[in-house]
Chain A
């Protein structure tokens, strides 16, 4: 018989094992091709304003995906060969040389791999237009161009080449595994457990300690600490995860066995002992899955949270639909631009007034404010102007009422450490603002830093105080020595600001280079959406690749195990296991394999999101408890992740039951 015929026959016989493998491989090819095709697509390239960022992100994540695909292929190939030890030993028993056996195995993987390459690339070509449309839809605010269907030969061979390289590596690793087989092992059979482990208290303790430390530091409120220690945190969590699966989980199983009332129930006895028997051979896989699912869920959840908050984030940065300060003539041009585009708008112009009270605010050894310092001055608003100007803002602020002698200080979380913020607020309230004739005290705070317009500090005063201070010369216009001729700021509010690209572009054109400073919400929004949309898009693909890889690895290992465990089920049925009990046993045998890594992965991700919240989100999301918002959005991702895993679990269970049944 020719080797190819034998290879084909083997593939057909092992179809159920190959089908998941094939599916995952195909999807990986599809993703790599799609990324490459997107990079080659001129229209897509031109649609992005921040082209370099876009390209480097796609390439970067493409490489990451490829590394993991390589890892997945080699590890599943190895376990596949191990599972076929008996068959392979038989080949050599009948006189096939090791070389020839490896050639056969290599041929098999190659055939499946080539099929996956062809199908993956064809799917990539077929869906390329759709993928590009989705990407542009997600990332661009108002893309209007059309994407034509196109085939990119460069992407095709750029996809094929590295995959062929990986297949070559697989062949080599397979050869290594096969050459290690001894004929004797065939006769020893599978009796001797490769995967039994008693576990170890030390490892359990160590893993809990490492995870605990990692979690603790990840959950600290000090963003500086998190950034400083991000690498140690990562290492300790990852190491802790592996140690937990290597030594901790077996120990926990060992404990479970000690509870005889529970353990001596048929299904528990069978399932726990069977799981325990395999735990070592699957520990690394489960740990890897936990880590990867944490990475994937965190990536998607971060992207999604950022994406969902792009609008809020825009306004927490800009505050208004648009504002500028600069020369007075520009104002007319801007008005004209609105009219030209037929956009309804309102505007409000306010003085940029400055106050320099005599004031020192110190916090421990940190000199927060010092009036001797040229950069430290206040932007000042009377209560009436403040109440007026906020109606033009998209920020949800309430009108204020201020008593004489008091002031409101605009402070957004500065340090992001709640305790420190509280101390700072106290320090501000304890420091009297000494003006030439009167002293004013800050009594409350408002999140309105966007009103600074060039300054750092903002206070809002009682109207009467404001007038008297103005008369006393304590409040002056914002002209600095080199200052601009026009000291007023104009804010705009118009319809549908984040979708009206035309008018935003016109205003930008008028103001850029001419205004002293300006911001248009639309521009910020576009940039945020482009970046975060891309993170979302890539994160989505990466997650699917990760889920498919990890889940099909689990599927693979369990179906292999099923083959070995079939004899046990036959025996158990003989001594009186009914089909109901069998179902329960199978459930208890398989569920932990899927559930434990998923849960640990999600817990990791929850803490990772906490860190992300401390470092990034809480500066963006102006709500009181930004972490809850983040968790709410992430849990959508977790639910999807769990759902997909659930589907894989049921497929595996079905196949497992079929094999042992």
Chain B
């Protein structure tokens, strides 16, 4: 079943008078199905973050439309948009983006608190997720008091706590060493499987991409290629490397 439909998206930076125009995205079209784990790859500056921001309604496309569950995001008013962001979308950022002023627990419940959920709902959801993600013991610590992996899991927890329809992750492994990176990918895959959460992940890393069921390759703001997961993991990985070497962009 189609969850998100992206139709003819264009993004031009510098639309204000006098600014130099730059087209970051050109005619992007694709669909995301419910429960999918999709990767987006491409060289630096190709427009991945731009695309993700548009999908997450943080940014608006210059033209084109994004449908989530059949609703055109562009038609939403400012207030509805904020609500939509909280209810439907979970974000995981590269630098975690946890607030240093809050404990992990407070960070995690933040979206629900903003949404105005009652204490009971908040507590029960928090307990379940924190147990599943194994950060129950560090909930009362501050971000700078815990490891990078724990921070990343807390960030994932925050993305999931509202039970979003889709999780958007921008280079979530970028700041982690390979072991923590792998752990996080396992986690995302597990979340994808157990909660049937739809995940869209931007990555530079071919290994990380190999966790995805489908990979979109972007070059110069256009979708250049699409790859589907194969039975054989090594073969899939090699195929990704092949495309990357053509598209460009570093692999670790």
Contacts and interface: CB of A to CB of B under 8 A. Distances in A.
A273 B91 contact: no
B221 interface: no
B110 A269 contact: yes
Interface in A118-150: none
Interface stretch (B82-90, B207-215, B230-238): B82-90
B71 interface: no
B81 to A, nearest CB: 8
Contacts of A580: 79
A367 B64 CA distance: 100
B144 interface: yes
B101 A581 contact: no
A437 interface: no
A273 B143 CA distance: 13
Contacts of B83: 576, 578
Given A273-B101, A568-B101, A578 B79 contact: yes
Chain B facing A: main interface SS: helix
B161 to A, nearest CB: 10
Contacts of B58: 573-574
Contacts, number: 84
A572 B114 CA distance: 10
Contacts of B81: 578
A118 to B, nearest CB: 38
Interface stretch (B14-22, B35-43, B115-123): B115-123
Contacts of B122: 264
Contact of B111 (A274, A576, A579): A576
B113 A571 contact: no
Contact of A575 (B79, B114, B142): B114
Interface string B71-112: 000000011011101100001010001011110001001111
B219 interface: no
Interface string A171-193: 00000000000000000001111
A575 B111 contact: yes
B56 interface: yes
B85 A576 contact: yes
A573 B101 CA distance: 16
Contacts of B123: 260
A261 interface: yes
Given A266-B113, A266-B115, A568-B99, A575 B91 contact: yes
Interface in A190-221: 190-193, 196
Interface residues of A, number: 29
B119 A264 contact: yes
A400 B100 CA distance: 76
B91 A574 contact: yes
Nearest to A564: B100
A89 interface: no
B158 interface: yes
A274 to B, nearest CB: 5
Contacts of A581: 82, 114
A577 interface: yes
Interface string B110-141: 11111111110011000000000000000000
A6 to B, nearest CB: 29
Nearest to B117: A264
Contacts of B144: 191-193
Given A574-B56, A576-B115, A578-B78, A191 B100 contact: yes
Contacts of A261: 118-119
Contact of A193 (B101, B111, B115): B101
Contacts of B99: 270, 273, 568, 571-572
Q: Which of A193, A575, A578 has the most CB of B within 10 A?
A: A575
Interface string A585-629: 000000000000000000000000000000000000000000000
Nearest to A580: B79
Contact of A270 (B91, B93, B110, B115): B110
18 contacts: A191-B144, A192-B144, A193-B142, A260-B119, A264-B109, A266-B114, A266-B115, A270-B99, A270-B110, A273-B106, A571-B99, A574-B85, A574-B93, A575-B91, A575-B111, A576-B82, A578-B83, A580-B79
Given A260-B119, A264-B122, A266-B114, 13 more contacts: A196-B142, A260-B123, A261-B119, A264-B109, A266-B110, A273-B102, A277-B100, A574-B58, A574-B85, A575-B110, A576-B82, A576-B83, A581-B114
Interface of A: 190-193, 196, 260-261, 264-266, 269-270, 273-274, 276-277, 567-568, 571-581
Pairs of residues from A and B, 9 with the lowest C-beta to C-beta distance, nearest first: A266-B114, A578-B82, A576-B86, A277-B101, A576-B85, A571-B97, A191-B144, A260-B119, A273-B102
Interface of B: 56, 58, 78-79, 81-83, 85-86, 91, 93, 97, 99-102, 106, 109-119, 122-123, 142-144, 158
